[in-house]
Amino acid sequence: MPYCSVCDTSIDLEATPTAPFCSDRCRLIDLGRWLDEAYSVPAPHSLDELDEEESEAPASAEADADE
Ligand SMILES: [Zn+2]
């Protein structure tokens, strides 16, 4: 019998539409944890890429004004 990874309640996979979680609440808790981890990991490389995209923005704005 599998167990909910959030609250360790045993789950009947066939009777539990929210499997592998025991309930929708636990599913959301796990999702929240996952997102929290994703956002708390610093990604300096992504920030560098964002900066480059921003410096390229004026060029595309010029092309738009040309039309
Ligand atoms: Zn649970």
pTM exceeding 0.85: no
Measure 28 CA to ligand 1 centroid, in angstroms.
10
Cα of 12 to ligand 1 centre, how many Å?
A: 12
Distance CA 67, CA 63 (A): 7
Q: How far is the CA of 61 from the centre of ligand 1 (A)?
A: 50
CA angle 10, 11, 15 (to 5 degrees): 150
Handedness of CA 35, 39, 40, 41 (dihedral sign): positive
- Hey, what amino acid is at 31? L
Does residue 59 have a pLDDT over 80?
no
Cα 56 to ligand 1 centroid, rounded to whole Å: 47
| pLDDT 10s digits, 25-54 | 999 999 999 999 888 877 666 656 666 566
